A and B are shown apart, each in its own frame.
Chain A
Amino acid sequence: MSILVIAEHDNASIKGATLNTVAAAAAIGGEIDVLVAGANCGVAAEAAAKIAGVSKVISADNAVYEHQLAENVALLIADLGKGYSHILAPATTNGKNNLPRAAALLDVQAISDIISVESADTFKRPVYAGNVIATVQSGDAIKVLTVRTTAFDPVAAEGGSASVEAIDGSHNAGNSEFVGEELAKSDRPELTAASIIVSGGRGMQNGENFEMLYKVADKLGAAVGASRAAVDAGFVPNDMQVGQTGKIVAPDLYVAVGISGAIQHLAGMKDSKVIVAINKDEDAPIFQVADYGLVADLFDAVPELDAAL
């Protein structure tokens, strides 16, 4: 068996999600190659070569891959992927955008968001917003999988010594163009990498009140997340949304403030190790998953918490 892992990177560095995906590949077993497709991505390729357990890094360094446009990258993945038994990518927005497109080019039914490897062709994955875990078996010759990163402990970023093979040529579908990007900038840890997350919901009432959460988060070295209601109301940007259709997180500590605990929100955070809920409604469903529940007005409790830390 040989496995192709699609690296998540920003041309300059390898993202943590790649390490979780290599871990899923290692659970399948076999040689692991990592594809770094980008532009001026040599540094990222060198970093990928150091990941523990990787045999070979394939570097596709070309302007057409700079922004990971699915139209181009999927052609590349399908082309290279023909020679592998498995193709894996993290279930990031990039992986979700590119991999199904590559799978269809290979005439393969992809499997999304695997949370465990049962055997080389059998995997577990959540369905119905995580209320049901399905064990599924692929009948296709090549298995194309996206990996829920929170379900696999990352392999070491250092210690490997893979070879780097540069490949020439480019796949340019010529029907899409990158226009621009607005990336949220923050000095706090990334949501999917943080070991503590403090999240706010509609109960926060407005964007200014999130300052209270930022203060607590900074004392804890935490990331700040939000419910969809808080994002929709414009309190905070979309990249902070946790849930079925936002980010899936599983930190050591998740503090939900003024969040009711809808199924779709729980889908994104209920695998956290310790959950704290602060809500003034003692019947809020969030308390059913909370290890420590505090029934209180958040406008009293959060400043008190800030002072106590």
Chain B
Amino acid sequence: MKILVAVKRVVDYNVKVRPKSDGTDVDIANVKMSINPFCEIAVEEAVRLKEKGVATEIIAISMGPKQAQEQVRTALALGADRGILVESDEDLQPLAIAKMLKAIVEKESPDLVILGKQAIDGDNNQTGQMLGALTSMPQGTFASEVNVADGRVSVTREIDGGLQTVNLSLPAIVTTDLRLNEPRYASLPNIMKAKRKPMDTFTPEDLGVDATPRVKTLSVEPPAERKAGIKVADVAELVDKLKNEAKVI
């Protein structure tokens, strides 16, 4: 069984991103970039399926600027077998990403495509679902448990009220939630080995996809500031403030 994993290069989750002062864009010059945390979980899940003998090959794919090859290398160091970089300096939006992934799916015919549920920069939570629509594959989104058996995959999903389990025919799409697994760290020898693993590079044109953004960002601004609060001395003062000042209890 072949697994395709999509990994996005994003601003590290510890960085507090701010808009540029002219409000045209976010200021991400010189900030730490990482693999999107949900994508790390996607890679880990694929690697575990391979370790269990369910999967035979893992292909990691990233789309973005040339530097996104670092995230492909990270995935290779974590256990993916080969990499694909689709290089583009466009603002790549989920529909375009899904179209390019579809082109790769047609070339590679994977049995499972694992994506993160959400990229923590754009917070879109769309790409996996869109890829499902374009390929007619079923989708197990927000997965906290994945079991492959008898040509099908059973996915436990985190939904608003609790958990839901669906059973999907293969090939299928899974998008990962945080509790699916705890990703390992890449060991130094594996990081060295990853440098020798194959990586193909394409452009959106090679894949026949028009990646022009459909949604334009007109401006960005910081969220409304909260006014500074106070410290209360004890529980009695807290209860008094809540009753008589804020009037919320």
Name A's B-contacting residues (CB within 8 A): 67, 69-71, 74, 78, 92-94, 96-105, 107-113, 122, 126-140, 173, 175-184, 192, 196, 220, 228, 231-232, 237-239, 244-245, 247, 252-253, 263-264, 270, 273-276, 282, 287, 289-296, 301, 304-305, 308-309
CA distance A129 to B159 in the complex (A): 20
CA distance A175 to B166 in the complex (A): 10
- For A105, list chain B residues within 8 Å (CB): 133
User: A180-B164, A232-B179, A245-B118 given as contacts; is B215 within 8 A of A113 (CB)?
Assistant: no
- 9 shortest A-B CB distances, which residue pairs? A104-B133, A104-B130, A109-B214, A100-B126, A100-B129, A291-B229, A176-B138, A179-B165, A304-B235
- For B122, list chain A residues within 8 Å (CB): 127
B192 at the A/B interface (Cβ < 8 Å)?
no
Contact (Cβ within 8 A) A175 B137: yes
CA distance A109 to B127 in the complex (A): 10
Binds A, one of B51-59, B77-85, B104-112, B236-244: B236-244
Contact (Cβ within 8 A) B229 A275: yes
Name B's A-contacting residues (CB within 8 A): 11, 13-14, 16-19, 26, 93-96, 98, 117-118, 120-127, 129-134, 136-139, 141-142, 144, 154, 157-169, 172, 177-179, 213-223, 226, 229-232, 234-236, 238-239, 241-242, 246, 248-249
User: A101-B139, A228-B178 given as contacts; is B217 within 8 A of A181 (CB)?
Assistant: no
CA distance A104 to B13 in the complex (A): 28
Give min CB distance, B231 to chain A, whole Å. 5
Q: Per a CB cutoff under 8 Å, which of A70, A130, A179 touches B154?
A: A179
Q: Per a CB cutoff under 8 Å, which of B14, B162, B226 touches A238?
A: B162
Find the B residue at minimum CB distance from A97: B141
- For B161, list chain A residues within 8 Å (CB): 181, 183-184, 239
- For B126, list chain A residues within 8 Å (CB): 100, 103, 110, 112
- For A245, list chain B residues within 8 Å (CB): 117-118, 177-178
Scoring B168, B234, B238 by chain A CB atoms within 10 A of each residue's CB, the highest score goes to B238
A-B contact pairs, 10 of them (CB 8 A): A74-B129, A99-B129, A101-B132, A137-B215, A179-B167, A181-B164, A238-B163, A273-B248, A274-B242, A309-B239
Contact (Cβ within 8 A) A239 B234: no
Contact (Cβ within 8 A) A108 B95: yes
- For B160, list chain A residues within 8 Å (CB): 92-94, 192, 239, 247
- For B165, list chain A residues within 8 Å (CB): 178-181
- For A247, list chain B residues within 8 Å (CB): 160
Find the A residue at minimum CB distance from B163: A182
User: A131-B16, A135-B219, A305-B239 given as contacts; is B162 within 8 A of A239 (CB)?
Assistant: yes
Give min CB distance, A277 to chain B, whole Å. 8
CA distance A196 to B129 in the complex (A): 34
Find the B residue at minimum CB distance from A8: B160
Find the B residue at minimum CB distance from A282: B231
Scoring B95, B98, B144, B157 by chain A CB atoms within 10 A of each residue's CB, the highest score goes to B95
Contact (Cβ within 8 A) B231 A294: yes
Contact (Cβ within 8 A) A293 B120: no
Contact (Cβ within 8 A) B17 A102: no
Contact (Cβ within 8 A) A112 B124: yes
CA distance A138 to B236 in the complex (A): 51
Contact (Cβ within 8 A) B220 A134: yes
Q: Per a CB cutoff under 8 Å, which of B17, B139, B178, B179 touches A131?
A: B17
Contact (Cβ within 8 A) A138 B138: no
- For A109, list chain B residues within 8 Å (CB): 93-96, 213-215
Contact (Cβ within 8 A) A292 B216: no
Contact (Cβ within 8 A) A176 B167: yes
Contact (Cβ within 8 A) A135 B179: no
Contact (Cβ within 8 A) A181 B162: yes
- For A181, list chain B residues within 8 Å (CB): 159, 161-165
Give min CB distance, B7 to chain A, whole Å. 17
Scoring A96, A105, A196 by chain B CB atoms within 10 A of each residue's CB, the highest score goes to A96
Contact (Cβ within 8 A) A127 B123: yes
Give min CB distance, B247 to chain A, whole Å. 9
- For B98, list chain A residues within 8 Å (CB): 104
- For B172, list chain A residues within 8 Å (CB): 175
